[in-house]
């Protein structure tokens, strides 16, 4: 992954470094994240022997819904902060941002909170239409039970 180094050299003219809306070269696992379109902004301030960085990553990311398997896009705003000392001299902000993004990825992405998922019987996406398979299975189960009970009585 591309590095994005901030070093003490960047603060020769000013004690403050501001970077806004730069494309984030995010190297991601396509299994988990389907697409990502992210930019980053940060402000770095140099104090005597320390540089302190605060910023955020914004944009959109696409995931596969863990219930209905449909791909959906989500807006994200992920904050991050870090600091490094004069002894370290430089610091890879890209790695810091990558970790912040990975920590903010949902474990079980959902296209919507009340996603109904796929029918376990016919595979239909229940958000799009109802298929009553599960109800039918329940009904058949009850009907079968009743027929057994009836047979017992006879």
Summarize as ranges the residues that interact with Zn ion (CB under 5 A): 65, 67-68, 111, 115, 119, 121-122, 124, 131, 133
Smallest distance, Å, CB 61 to Zn ion? 16
Question: In terms of CB distance, is 55 or 109 closer to Zn ion?
Answer: 109
Smallest distance, Å, CB 35 to Zn ion? 17
**Cβ burial, residue 101 (10 Å; 0-12/13-18/19+):** buried
Round to whole Å and give the CA distance between 152 and 154.
5
Contacts of residue 139, defined as CB under 8 A and 6 or more positions apart, other chains included, come to none
Round to whole Å and give the CA distance between 149 and 143.
10
Question: In terms of CB distance, is 65 or 78 closer to Zn ion?
Answer: 65
Smallest distance, Å, CB 68 to Zn ion? 3
Question: In terms of CB distance, is 19 or 119 closer to Zn ion?
Answer: 119
Which residues face 62 on adjacent strands? 35, 73
User: Which is nearest to 94 in space by CA: 42, 43, 24?
Assistant: 24
Smallest distance, Å, CB 32 to Zn ion? 16
Question: In terms of CB distance, is 12 or 108 closer to Zn ion?
Answer: 108
Smallest distance, Å, CB 74 to Zn ion? 12
Question: In terms of CB distance, is 19 or 133 closer to Zn ion?
Answer: 133
Residue 126 — left, alpha, or beta (φ > 0 → left; ψ -120 to 50 → alpha)? alpha
């Amino acid at each position: 992954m591309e590095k994005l180094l901030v070093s003490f050299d960047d603060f020769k003219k000013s004690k403050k470094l501001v970077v806004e809306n730069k494309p984030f070269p995010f190297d991601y696992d396509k299994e988990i994240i389907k697409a990502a379109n992210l930019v980053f902004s940060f402000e770095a301030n140099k104090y005597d022997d320390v540089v302190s960085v605060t910023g955020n990553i914004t944009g959109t990311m696409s995931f596969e819904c863990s219930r209905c398997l449909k791909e959906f896009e989500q807006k994200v705003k992920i904050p991050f902060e870090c600091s490094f000392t004069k002894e370290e001299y430089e610091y890879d902000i890209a790695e810091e941002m990558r970790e912040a993004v990975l920590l903010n990825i949902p474990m079980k992405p959902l296209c919507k909170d009340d996603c109904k998922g796929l029918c376990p019987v016919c595979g239909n996406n229940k958000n799009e239409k109802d298929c009553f398979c599960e109800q039918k299975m329940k009904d058949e189960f009850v009907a079968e039970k009743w027929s057994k009970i009836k047979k017992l009585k006879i």
